[in-house]
Structure 1
């Protein structure tokens, strides 16, 4: 399982969340909504500090991660984070590793 962040998504993080070098962003399973992988659960994202990360990627000295306890949500899929330009919000895709 891996995390991929597009350059458009990185720009969104800088503009909307004002991330800077040293910040840490967590992707997690959130109760509510739906996703292509699970009804009743969707992906959440927040600034956080890792405890037991199972997947990490560092871009521009910003750490993106998924905690071990949220691994079930991704069901062996890689996470692709991009930007939906029409809505000016993040778009997530899941592809089997």
Structure 2
């Protein structure tokens, strides 16, 4: 399992979340909503400190990660993060690793 973040999404994080070098951003499973890989759950993200990260990627000195306890949500899929330019928000897609 891997995390892929487009350059446009990195800029979104820097602008919308004021992310900067040394920040850490967590992707996690949250109750409610739905996604293509899990009914009743959706993907959330927040600035957070890693506890037991199982998947990490560093881009422009920003650490993006998924905790071990949230790995079940992805069911072996890689996470792709991009920007939906019409909605001006993040867009997530998942591909089986």
TM-score by length of 1: 0.99
How far apart are residue 79 of structure 1 and its match? 0.1
Aligned residues: 97
Q: Distance in 1 between matches of 2:11 and 2:53?
A: 24
Q: Which runs of 5+ in 2 are unaligned?
A: none
How far apart are residue 67 of structure 1 and its match? 0.1
Q: Which runs of 5+ in 1 are unaligned?
A: none
* Pairwise CA RMSD: 0.4
Q: What secondary structure, in the 3-state scheme, does the structure 1 residue paired with 2:55 have?
A: strand
Instruction: List 4+ stretches of structure 1 deviating above 3 A.
Output: none
TM-score by length of 2: 0.99
Q: What secondary structure, in the 3-state scheme, does the structure 2 residue paired with 1:45 have?
A: strand
Note if 1:15 corresponds to 2:22: no
